[in-house]
Amino acid sequence: MLMSEIKRVIDQVSRDKGIERRVLIKALEEALKSAARKKYGPKIDIEVQYSEETGELEVFQFKEVAETVEEPMLQISLTEGRKLDAECEIGDSLGTKMDTATFGRIAAQSAKQVIIQKLKDAEKEAVYGSFIERRGDIINGIVQRIDRGDIIVNLGQTEGALPVREQVPKESYRRGDRIRALILDVHQESRGPQVVLSRTHPSFLTTLFRTEVPEISEGIVSILGASREPGVRAKIAVASNNSDIDPVGACVGMKGSRVQNVVQELRGEKIDIIPYHVDPAKFVCNALAPAEVSRVIIDEDNRSMEVIVPDEFLSIAIGKKGQNVRLASKLTGWHLDVKNESAYNQAMQSGYNSLMALPGIGISLADALYEKGFYSAEEIGKASVEDLLHIRGIDETLARSLIEAAKTAAEAAENPAAIEPEKTAADGESEATVDEPAGEMPGEPVDEPAGEPVDEA
């Protein structure tokens, strides 16, 4: 290659490969240094500079001016030095321009290998840089091959891998098929950048909506959450910062055109578009639609909600194999426990009965405890004396006795075998009477008397 052609080659390679000019120039400088050291040895002191004006690479050899020359490649005599610079003195460093044609064939071959390696490294860096900036975007590719279940996709500049865990179940692809996927991550490896793709990540769903719905890309409508069971069902929460624009309607589109485009790309995955609400309880009610919600009980400490629905809506709220409530829980970020009204009322009645069973509690005191959020003896056992003193009709002595009785009742309920010896009757008695433990819920079955016949239906 003639030195006069270097500038043209640098510009062409930079344009074709997408590599910055300074990276290419640095690679050429390193290659010429390597070639010079191959020719003259590793001790030679040289500098390589690229001239933007002439478009040439200039190689300079530096030698120190010395009285006695011991290393000809590193030193120059004062007499010789003054031929180059009349004002030089002992200890000065003088540089002379070298003729690159004298480097020889082997040195030139070495320079070529360095250039090729540097170009490969620079190209890998350029590809990595371009894809790492696109992480979270959707990219189109062509299926190249299947490798142990992973789909290898041709992305143009490099290959991407769609791992098995990021593939939608029941989706199948053959070589040559076009595929769209999310750039999930980019790894820098020795063989080159590895692009990890995904079709199951919730961001794939939200990015598809961003491309289909102009209001989202313009920032008028925001997607505030998404949850998926890939290939089956998904939920997204949307909100609008413009009161004149309905976020759900914007995502659905005219006659459902926008959402249908997303559904087709996801191969028929059903999508629920949920209006977001700042009130967590209302947001949960929206997320469980189309089921109606009667009541929501919030436990902020454990970030959980008990959701009560009419009996006829229980199966709708839970969904097939718990799918609806599971997606709603992921979307809202709250643990949801869905119950029907019958089970809830029964549990509340059972809790109320357990309160009535505690010694020293009448109907009025049980109602007062109920109003303050103590719905069962179990909750009394977990309370402190200070908590109970806020309730009318309870002093410190009664509070301590109630807590102790509630704990005893809870232990008895958890380990009924522990109280078995107390139920043992004297030898020879035909009937045994068992005192009901303090705090045991009325209506709980009592052990049958010994020897008493049991009617069979």
Distance CA 357, CA 439 (A): 4
Distance of CA 268 to CAs 146, 233, 234, 351, Å? 24, 9, 11, 46
**φ, ψ for residue 196, nearest 5 deg:** -95, 125
**φ, ψ for residue 110, nearest 5 deg:** -65, -40
Which residue matches tokens 């433990």?
437
Tens-digit pLDDT string for the chain (457 aa): 444 566 777 777 777 766 777 877 887 788 778 777 777 777 788 888 877 777 777 788 888 888 787 877 778 888 787 878 777 888 888 877 777 666 666 656 766 676 677 777 777 887 888 888 888 999 999 999 998 889 999 988 788 999 999 999 888 899 999 999 999 999 887 777 889 999 999 999 999 999 999 999 999 999 999 999 999 999 999 999 998 999 999 999 998 999 999 999 999 999 999 999 999 999 999 999 888 998 898 988 889 998 999 999 999 999 988 999 999 999 999 999 998 888 888 877 887 777 777 787 778 787 778 777 777 777 777 778 887 877 777 878 887 888 888 788 777 766 655 444 444 443 434 333 334 433 333 333 334 333 444 343 3
pLDDT of residue 178: 93
pLDDT of residue 421: 47
Distance CA 136, CA 152 (A): 19
pLDDT of residue 406: 79
- Dihedral of alpha carbons 330, 331, 337, 340, sign: negative
Distance CA 124, CA 15 (A): 15
296, 306 contact by CB (below 8 A): yes
Q: Which domains does the chain have, with CATH numbers?
A: 3-129 (3.30.1480.10), 135-198 (2.40.50.140), 213-276 (3.30.300.20), 357-416 (1.10.150.20)
Q: For residue 301, count CB atoms less than 10 angstroms from its CB and return exposed for 0-12, middle for 13-18, buried for 19 or more.
A: exposed
What token pair was written down for 8?
A: 């043209």
What token pair was written down for 311?
A: 């009996």
Distance CA 210, CA 233 (A): 19
pLDDT of residue 5: 64
Q: Which residues of 259-282 are buried (b: 16+ CB within 10 A; e: fewer)?
A: bebbbebbeebebbbbbbbeebbe
Whether this model's pTM surpasses 0.85: no
DSSP conformation letters of 321-337: GGHHHHHHHHHHTSEEE
